[in-house]
Chain A
């Protein structure tokens, strides 16, 4: 049975806090670019962007990243990049500070794939990572710079993030 562990209000607060921390640790937000990992990472990116706009009155570019072709859990035939359509990033990330956003950080493999995709699209000055939930069990040397909530889990459990834009409401459940 799914159990709600974070409600909409707490999620909103976590996103606001991440925004404050981004401002705090970057000593200003020039050169910043937000890149959301499809699907929910994109909504996370947009929510951070709208908060930055309200607080600092600056428009930060937001891009969507589809990492399907870079995933390492596919066989070689599936991985034939020529067969997969990749959407190019619609913004310039050269010499920018890229903040990658995703909903859940788990093994770190998605993030590795995302970094591959970013590297093939340009040469960012720096890449940081912001996630709503860090659930542990990393399989790669990757960590998040901005974490909404650390939720210790067992590998048998599932974390489900719902966001208003696609699921109708904001919540995080565990089952």
Chain B
């Protein structure tokens, strides 16, 4: 069935429909991921997004349903060049999988041309439709993307991920399961809470440290969460991942900017400033901290992207706060970034030790 990908600026990419046949609209995101398509599609960050994969053929190694990053996919649509019918180990093919998730898809699209167009003209809204008349283009132009993406993906009810180690409270802004996997691997006793949980509710859980997770949308849509950070950061070690880091930055009067070339790639090099170490890590962010304000802020830059110099990691100069813009939990992508979780645990341990020394000596 012939379908059309229509961009906000009126550009039309024809293709063939697959998956669900509903009309869909959302923010178009160009993803350069080669592998881990399952993880990208089930990532809560994909809420409200139409994902376009630039890899020429998707799903060549089958679909592994053990690699989910959330129970239900929030992705609004997928755009691909072609896909393989390959079903390794009797697993499901990419197209059948997208159909089973009831996600609309469009294939035989010139994804390289699409990626170039977006690189030149910036990120935009898009729609997958059956027609491409004036009316359809007017509709997509008039579309206002919902500002409550985090509210849609954040857990409504707090829930535990019990273990015997440090008590970590995770503020769910669109949590990927791989963050929990990494914490479980380090014996952390985690509790996951709603993004709007009050300071009292979080304090009542008596955390050793707090993680602000990754998530979709514009950080400025979350003023209450930012206010909470301003109070909590004085009492607890904090780790921000992706959106979480941006909120921590805003809570400390550090400005953020939208990237000219957003990072949606599962393997992009990042340099650790202190040691010069290079790590290949998964990126999925459209914003970062503004270089102009970082000098006068209380943050030091700990990691930068090698390709374009984007700030990828920060640390507070006086408080036990750290944040990364990339995704240390990988999924998809290489696992070089896992050390961020070790670093956060070291940070908590050292704060505890300091407190111990203080109470011993005073």
Contact A13 B343 (CB under 8 A): yes
A101 within 8 A of B: no
A56 within 8 A of B: yes
B221 within 8 A of A: no
Task: Name B301's closest neighbour in chain A (CB-CB).
Answer: A55
Contact B275 A56 (CB under 8 A): no
A129→B52 CA distance, assembly (Å): 53
B121 within 8 A of A: no
Task: Name A18's closest neighbour in chain B (CB-CB).
Answer: B350
The digit string for A1-39, where 1 denotes a CB below 8 A from any CB of B, is 000000001001111110111011001100000000000
- Cβ contact of B346, chosen from A17, A24, A27, cutoff 8 A: A17
CB distance from B357 to the nearest CB of A (A): 7
CB contact under 8 A between A19 and B274, given known A13-B342, A55-B300, A143-B357: yes
CB contact under 8 A between A55 and B275, given known A17-B347, A23-B317: no
User: Which residues 344-362 in B have Cβ within 8 Å of A in the complex?
Assistant: 346-347, 350, 353, 357
CB distance from B344 to the nearest CB of A (A): 11
Contact B350 A54 (CB under 8 A): no
Chain B residues with Cβ below 8 Å from A147 are 350, 353
CB contact under 8 A between A17 and B350, given known A51-B275, A54-B276, A55-B300: yes
Chain A residues with Cβ below 8 Å from B302 are 20, 55
A87→B55 CA distance, assembly (Å): 63
Contact B317 A54 (CB under 8 A): no
B185 within 8 A of A: no
Which residue among B273, B274, B357 has the maximum number of chain A CB atoms within 10 Å of its CB? B274
The digit string for A133-147, where 1 denotes a CB below 8 A from any CB of B, is 000000000010001
CB distance from A12 to the nearest CB of B (A): 6
CB distance from B155 to the nearest CB of A (A): 31
CB contact under 8 A between A23 and B273, given known A13-B339, A17-B347, A143-B357: no
User: Which residues 266-309 in B have Cβ within 8 Å of A in the complex?
Assistant: 272-277, 300-302
Which residue among A9, A24, A51, A55 has the maximum number of chain B CB atoms within 10 Å of its CB? A24
- Cβ contact of A20, chosen from B301, B315, B342, cutoff 8 A: B315
Which residue among A13, A27, A28, A51 has the maximum number of chain B CB atoms within 10 Å of its CB? A13
Which residue among A14, A20, A51, A56 has the maximum number of chain B CB atoms within 10 Å of its CB? A20
CB distance from A3 to the nearest CB of B (A): 20
A99→B225 CA distance, assembly (Å): 39
- Cβ contact of A54, chosen from B273, B339, B347, cutoff 8 A: B273
Task: Name A20's closest neighbour in chain B (CB-CB).
Answer: B315
A15→B277 CA distance, assembly (Å): 13
B320 within 8 A of A: yes
CB distance from B247 to the nearest CB of A (A): 21
Chain B residues with Cβ below 8 Å from A17 are 343, 346-347, 350
A19→B302 CA distance, assembly (Å): 11
The digit string for A114-150, where 1 denotes a CB below 8 A from any CB of B, is 0000000000000000000000000000010001000
Chain A residues with Cβ below 8 Å from B276 are 54
Q: Which B residues fall within an 8 A CB radius of A? A: 272-277, 300-302, 315-320, 339, 342-343, 346-347, 350, 353, 357
Q: Which A residues fall within an 8 A CB radius of B? A: 9, 12-17, 19-21, 23-24, 27-28, 51, 54-56, 143, 147
Known: A13-B346, A55-B302. 14 other contacts (CB 8 A): A13-B343, A16-B274, A17-B350, A20-B274, A20-B315, A23-B300, A24-B316, A24-B317, A24-B318, A24-B319, A24-B320, A28-B317, A55-B301, A56-B300
